[in-house]
Structure 1
Amino acid sequence: MLPYCIRLVNIDHHRKGLESAGWKVRIIQRIRNPKAERDAYNEWNYSKFRLWQLTDYDKVIFIDADLLILRNIDFLFTMPEITATGNNATLFNSGVMIIEPSNCTFQLLMEHINEITSYNGGDQGYLNEIFTWWHRIPKHMNFLKHFWEGDEEEVKAKKTRLFGANPPILYVLHYLGRKPWLCFRDYDCNWNVEVLRGFASDVAHTRWWKVHNKMPKKLQSYCLLRSRLKAGLEWERRQAEKANFTDGHWRRNITDPRLKICYEKFCFWESMLWHWGENKTNATKQNALPATPSAGKSSS
């Protein structure tokens, strides 16, 4: 759970947090994606290739940091390289992969980074070019939190039931779009951004926070919000209000205690909104109208 919240601003501090949660931490030299723009989201995601250097293990189950494990997946160790879920008929999703570490494979990956163009700009597209053969497992092993534009209400309802099923039916839930720990805990903030609304599900959002709440309080402190993020969430909420999104999540009063907790030198996040052209009304704290019940539905 903890790696979801970690940002390596203070490496020693966050390493101690991971270790106290039981993680064995390895510091690696990052691998730059030569085709990525400077400071882009995908600039360093080829660092994932270092997985193949974990040669003290026979097999590795790689799990992206934005996944929530709901059921035991140890049986995946019986699967060969590469085993993954399919994004479509021919391509796999690299969020969950079974790999077999090998320095030879690592060298193969490194030899072609200047030649191969990833279809999605990241490691997933690159790995699909290298591993054109792969072994498919059911989507329940890496179930995407996403509602397609053409999904019928029955399909949306089925997905929502899967997100919240107790006992769980899914093995792994993959949080696409804005991540729960980067939203206020009150609701899924994907609702407030037009291009992200297909990723919005209050049921899946709540599920993540229930797991978070089981962590020791000391570890929960790694999920605190930075001032700039608080301002950004409020700015997006105000844009949703101006657009009058009919789901009405922007009306909800924010009760997330992290809103009032600051661990930085600069805590006056409201002033950032003024620089962004917003007025001085702090609607996040003042507006207490309930949202229209619409958890798990997508408005496209």
Structure 2
Amino acid sequence: MALVNLTSGPDFLLLGLMDDTVAHPVLFLLFLSVYLLNAMGNLSMVVLVRSDGALCSPMYYFLGHLSFVDACFTTVTVPRLLVSLLHPAQAISFQACFAQMYFFLALGITESYLLAAMSYDRAVAVCQPLHYTAVMTPWRCRALVGASWAVSHLHSLLHTLLISALSYPHSAPVRHFFCDMTVMLSLATSDTSTAETAIFSEGLAVVLTPLILVSLSYAHILVAVLRVRSAGGSRRAFSTCGAHLVVVSLFFGSVLSVYFRPSSAYSARYNRLASVVYAVVTPTLNPFIYSLRNKEVKGALKRRLRCRAAPQDV
């Protein structure tokens, strides 16, 4: 296959989620429903956090940002996935492919750091309840969110520039439903050793840093819980971080299973299916996991629904 100059922009062919097109109509309806559910759940959480005075604590401040990131995260990949389910092997331009990669990486990394910030918040709430308001000040919360966005975009920009500088064949087939970093590296026809080394070291830091922060936070929480003698106190401590721990496990577990598997165990089909977990399923479940296990969120939702119904009763 003849190479073309990158300035002229090679096209890529997104092969979608599955090679077999028989199940595409069913998958289209499924992913359309999931995407609408994602948008409804996450945007509702953003509105609740911003409009309800009872949800003004740092935990809900982080949750509002996480919900916004989740809504954007799925929007980067799912609409094009829906198109590919209706029209398989969709062409995507060089510029659009790497723009998608940039935003996918940036939003995914932002989510990991926001989850780390939320775990720190829960650790302070459990381990230092009397000093919670003094530690988790509005300035510190804004700084943690701002740092999450800044670090993620810098890492994403570096990875995207390194991979986009490689040479690619014209109309290369992408065995995925979006322009994933690992897949694009496998398509490159030029030497990828330098890019892979830089990306692996950077990627390791990107994933392991928030994961280590989460682990340290939960280690402190566990120590604090073990010191609590009453069963009721232990239950209250675990209830404050149970939902967050479920979200963290789903997100980091699926990411590690895709990007840190040995190359000998690489499987395009497995990568596509595992990517659905952290790119589609986890962002959709997040608002429901938090709301179903949280009385304050459910109370805010009921108040919001009563306010909407009130004018009709007059």
Q: What band does the TM-score fall into relative to the shorter chain? A: under 0.3
Structure with bigger gyration radius? 2
The higher-RCO structure (CA 8 Å, 6+ apart) is 2
TM-score by length of 2: 0.27
TM-score by length of 1: 0.28
